[in-house]
Chain A
Amino acid sequence: MSRATTRQARPPAALAAAGLAVVGLLTLPLVYLVLRAVTGDAWDVLVSGNLARLIWETGVLVALVTASALAVGVPLAWLVVRTDLPGSALWGTAAALPLVVPSYVAALVLLAAFGPRGLLQRILEPLGVERVPEIYGLPGAWLALTLSTYPFVFLLAASALRSLDPALEDAARGLGRSPFDAFRRVTLPVLRPSLGAGALLVALYVLSDFGAVSLMQYDSLTRAIFLQYRSLFDRTPAAVLALVLVVLTGLVLVLELRMRGRALARYQRTGTGAARRSTRVALGRWRWPALAFSSLAVGFALVVPVAVLVYWAAGRSEAVDWSWRPVVGSVGVSLAAAAVAVLATLPVAVLAVRYPSGWTTALERLSYAGNALPGIVIALALVFFAANYATPIYQTTALLVFAYVVRFFPQALAGSHSALVRVSPRLEEAARGLGRSPSAVFARVTAPLVAPGLLAGGALVFLSTMKELPATLLLRPIGFETLATEVWKYTSVASYSRAALPALVLIVVSAPIVYLLGVRSGSETGPPG
């Protein structure tokens, strides 16, 4: 078995060193938390009766949102990539865009639309509807977070579907299976690594989110952490609670690892697929339900927020100050963060996929550790290290980009990892056998095969960075503005009419980039025929 031989191979020293260096830097927030937790005395927050309940409520939310994000993201990805859904490029872009809507804004908008005495109720009032269902608490948090996170699943599943060897599905069809049966029996198992990675990102996002749970009044661990910072100004109990979050992350990571399919080698493809186009499934009479489903998801996640934002913006009579600086700032740091993050994932992903062993898997898992931490914790950790041990880069754009990479590394890794898994090492071995150097093999053979996955990972990091706020506020150079800080500037004084414009620009500016990164890169699958 080729898997057995690759397992025994030892990774090149340079690769191992690069992987270790990357993950070492990523664990800075953990080091910081341990430092804070041991230098103070706050372990008593662990024995308070609330903790068990907080963990339970957090767990419930994580499970529900992950399940619903999969239920929305997977069918959407399949419809966009593998069927003749009308306007699939448009749907593909629109379905990924909710990722740039900060969850705080998403929750605010949902409250404005569906809250008590919200827009919906005012529309329904003449029809005799006195009260819309309660949105505060679990329903609101669940809805807001599902809408903010399903694009993780969607983007990763779509990229996996694009680089899927069409022969598999065609063979199943040839054996007389219906398209849906072929999807369930053949495609879905191949998607498992990508779905696992997507679900993981969703779970980590929910663990770390503060914006939606605070506005929706849902009690989760992050709210408890913020309460320590905001009410008691105490970093020690906050650090202890954040470590609890890290433990929960560990559980989620182990769970994901166990649920991952074991027999991955079966699904590795041997060609790029460029030579052979896959045909799209004709939806036929299923076209309308498919369109309805896509409209519903994109409607809630994108059209409702945009409509409410436009409504707010239109309510402003005075002119709004407009400057391109936040746009340039946002796009600049987000592209930089996406590129650096994708490059940084390569050694880690190659180690974990090509040289699977205890330590390479552990290394990869460790790189996720910080992702479930609220942004403020990561920001303070980097403030601490940079202000005291790396003063020249403190409050520079370089450190800011580094902070984004630390926060969103797993998103890029999800793309790189699931892409690499689908490339057979035998192909690389063949190229090596023809006398190519390892780097030449990577550039000529591996890179084209993994490009859609890398781009998908990069797109995730780009979109997350576009909306990032806590680390941006604390680490940006003074005077550096992004669209997210502009939105914050105005929501903090309840001026939604002024906040609406930068929020809309955030969505509009991201759209072409999502299209380029996410949709166009899959064009080789092409339309039917």
Chain B
Amino acid sequence: MKSWVLLVSVAFALAGCGGGDTGSGDGKLTIYSGREEALVAPLIEQFEEASGVDAEVRYGESAELAATIAEEGDNTPADVFFAQDPGSLGAVESEGLLAELPEDVLERVGERYRDSDGRWVGTSGRVRVIAYNTDEVPEQEVPESVFELTEPKWKGKVGIAPTNGSFQAFVTAMRLTAGEDKTRMWLEAMKANGAKLYEKNTPILEAVAAGEIQLGLVNHYYLSLVKEESPEAPIANSYLSSNDPGALVSVAGAAILDASEDQDTAREFVDYLLSEEGQRFYAEEADESEYPLIEGVKAKEGLPPLEEIQGPDVELGQFGPELEKTLELLNEVGLTT
């Protein structure tokens, strides 16, 4: 039994080594980040250097962190929520836990890319594209509209991720612009055309690169991640025509928690994300190639300008209540199950 006692004490001593402290209002900034550590840690370091603020970051999945903040309520240690998608931000907002952002910060990005009540703001953009296998499909044959994907030519050759938030956001955009019926018909036709289902964006890209499928509906910036891992992969992005619902432009964004005792530092961080320096990160430093959202900062070389893409005319801030209907539709068509 003595060895057990020793083991337990050693274990706790070891476990204690990695410990940090918690709580807001201690001059430190606590960020809950649903954005991947490998992508945004350098950006947060830049901020720490520029501001002298000590930032502590809890990394996790956006939706799970949103649920965590909802459970913590007013006791949340988080000052800022830095999320992958408008949905997660909207979920925390609907719990009444977000503070209003200053007008001058909000105004730096277009109205489509922020919350209509001013409680979250987009910090970088991503575009829905068709990723294609460059060995199997010549560039000019890649469809310019998602509606072409239901043609017999693509039978069994297209990958989608119906259980993934980014695909669902695109279907929501389609419902809002092309209408409920047309969307249902498209989804049914996709299913009938043998669309292959994947868990999320990266497995689709890997399947395209491997030749398991030829086309995949994904967010544009995963390509650079896959290319970084295997530069030789025969895969490229093809942008859809500008008014196609498939060309949805979505954002990652940030919000300040109402319960934060350090509102000023939190604002300083969000302000930095939307400063020229913070936005240039996406244009220059970042491994992945997301779009900066403020005027005057250009996207990375090789990306078509955001103004050209346009995408369907929808406001991301309005998506919240629509998501449930989208999921219902996907369910009825039988794509999420």
Contacts and interface: CB of A to CB of B under 8 A. Distances in A.
A328 B18 contact: yes
A315 B228 CA distance: 12
B228 A495 contact: yes
B25 interface: no
A473 B38 contact: no
A231 B165 contact: yes
A436 interface: no
Interface stretch (B44-52, B199-207, B304-312): B199-207
Given A380-B71, A384-B71, A495-B229, A480 B199 contact: no
A185 interface: no
Contacts of A343: 4
Interface string A455-486: 00000000000000010011011111100010
Interface string B205-243: 111001110000000001001101110000000000000
B12 A336 contact: yes
B335 to A, nearest CB: 11
Interface in A376-394: 376, 379-380, 383-384, 387-388, 391, 394
B245 interface: no
B8 A494 contact: no
B21 interface: yes
A480 B15 CA distance: 9
B145 interface: no
A329 B4 CA distance: 19
Contacts of A443: 1
B71 A383 contact: yes
B210 A332 contact: no
A443 B7 CA distance: 17
Interface string B149-179: 0000000000000010100100000000000
29 contacts: A54-B337, A117-B210, A229-B64, A230-B163, A232-B323, A233-B67, A235-B67, A325-B17, A331-B14, A335-B10, A336-B14, A380-B67, A383-B72, A387-B73, A388-B72, A395-B77, A397-B12, A473-B59, A473-B60, A474-B65, A474-B68, A477-B18, A477-B19, A478-B58, A489-B37, A489-B59, A494-B225, A495-B229, A497-B229
Interface of A: 48, 50, 53-54, 115-118, 214-215, 217, 219, 223-224, 227, 229-235, 315, 325, 328-329, 331-336, 339-340, 342-343, 376, 379-380, 383-384, 387-388, 391, 394-397, 400-401, 443, 447, 470, 473-474, 476-481, 485, 489-490, 492-498
Given A231-B168, A332-B17, A336-B12, 12 more contacts: A217-B198, A230-B163, A232-B323, A233-B63, A332-B12, A336-B8, A339-B8, A383-B72, A387-B73, A397-B18, A477-B22, A478-B22
Interface of B: 1, 4, 7-8, 10-22, 30, 36-39, 56-61, 63-68, 70-73, 75-77, 87-88, 90-91, 163, 165, 168, 197-199, 202-203, 205-207, 210-212, 222, 225-226, 228-230, 287-288, 323-324, 327, 331, 336-337
